[in-house]
């Protein structure tokens, strides 16, 4: 059974976007994954197909209406659908590689792409939406964040990467950043490939890579090591 992603958005033409190319594109062509964009506006009930209204209490911007969004969610994710419902939101929990792996192991996801100032809190609570963030910054909408999440998930689905080992030796898979990489030519603008990598000594190479990984993590993401007693 393929991984099925239903994406609720005001801009369905943004999907599959870049996911139609490279590894993800081939996975979609083979049917390993399915992306179904759904236009939230199709569930508006007035003649203007309104999906937003002014924020209660005043303030700038508009808020996505709970009745319209709830109707859309209920239509695409009825009772019995076990897929998690994810709301892409800058106030959500940060997306991690472990969460990506969890999602990839499941039947799929329902992703809600927010717009305007946000989504009415009542529909978040009533439809049990899990708020997910891809970083500490604000986008114009949830679509780029949804594409990022789907890219991360699809690439680790079984059979998508030609070499399964590629997905287990990357940044965050081991709780640290990945070590540096090199390839031919041996010398580039006066810079040589580290001698250990051409030594043929696999034990020494592995030790070097682990040491480099730990050093980079300490320099750039020490927060990743806070729970690692060995660091």
Is residue 164 one of the residues assigned to a domain?
A: no
| CA separation for the pair 157, 86 (Å, rounded) | 19
DSSP-derived letter for residue 142 is: S
Q: What is the CATH number of the domain that holds 199?
A: 1.10.1270.20
State the pTM of this model: 0.90
The pLDDT of residue 231 is 39
pLDDT score at 168: 57
- Which structural domain range is residue 191 located in? 172-225
Domain match, 176 and 150 both: no
CA–CA distance, 144 with 152 (Å, rounded to integer): 12
Domain boundary among 125, 154, 183: 154
Look at residues 157, 127, 123 and name the one whose alpha carbon lies nearest to residue 2: 157
Compute CA distances 64 → 44, 96, 123, 143, 229, whole Å.
11, 27, 10, 15, 45
Interatomic CA distance for residues 202 and 198, integer angstroms: 10
Note the Cα 62 to chain centre separation in Å: 26
Could you tell me how far CA 109 lies from the centroid of its own chain? Answer: 11
Element (H, E) at 102: helix 97-104
Q: What is the CA radius of gyration of the chain?
A: 22
Same domain for 183 and 147: no
Q: Which residues pair with 130 in a beta bridge?
A: 86
Element (H, E) at 94: strand 85-94
| pLDDT score recorded for residue 226 | 86
18 and 82 within one domain: yes
Number of domains in the chain: 2
Residue 34 lies in a domain: yes
pLDDT at 194: 97
DSSP string, 164-176: GGGGGSSTTTSSS
pLDDT of residue 173: 78
193 and 138 inside one domain: no
Q: Is 71 exposed, middle or buried (0-12, 13-18, 19+ CB in 10 A)?
A: middle
User: Average pLDDT of each block of 10 consecutive residues along the chain (231 residues)?
Assistant: 94 98 96 98 95 95 96 97 97 96 98 94 98 96 98 96 61 84 96 97 97 96 75 39
Could you tell me the CA-to-CA distances from 48 to 8, 64, 71, 74, 223 in Å, in that order?
19, 15, 17, 22, 49
Kindly state whether residues 37 and 70 are assigned to the same domain.
yes
Same-domain status, 47 and 77 = yes
């Amino acid at each position: 059974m393929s991984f099925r992603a239903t994406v609720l958005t005001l801009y369905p033409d943004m999907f599959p976007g870049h996911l139609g190319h490279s590894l993800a594109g081939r996975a979609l062509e083979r049917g390993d994954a399915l992306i179904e964009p759904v236009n939230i506006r199709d569930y508006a009930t007035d003649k203007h197909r309104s999906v937003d209204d002014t924020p209660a209490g005043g303030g700038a911007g508009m808020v996505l209406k709970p009745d319209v969004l709830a109707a859309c969610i209920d239509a695409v994710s009825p009772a019995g659908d076990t897929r998690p419902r994810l709301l892409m939101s800058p106030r959500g929990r940060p997306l991690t590689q472990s969460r990506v792996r969890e999602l990839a192991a499941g039947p799929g996801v329902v992703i809600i792409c927010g717009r305007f100032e946000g989504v009415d809190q009542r529909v978040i609570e009533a439809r049990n939406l899990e708020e997910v963030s891809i970083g500490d910054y604000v986008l114009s909408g949830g679509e780029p964040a949804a594409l990022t999440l789907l890219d991360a998930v699809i690439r680790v689905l079984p059979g998508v990467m030609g070499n399964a080992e590629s997905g287990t030796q990357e940044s965050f898979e081991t709780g640290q950043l990945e070590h540096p990489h090199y390839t031919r030519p041996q010398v580039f603008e006066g810079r040589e490939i580290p001698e250990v990598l051409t030594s043929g000594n696999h034990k020494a190479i592995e030790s070097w890579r682990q040491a480099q990984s730990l050093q980079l993590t300490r320099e750039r993401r020490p927060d990743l090591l806070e729970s690692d007693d060995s660091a």
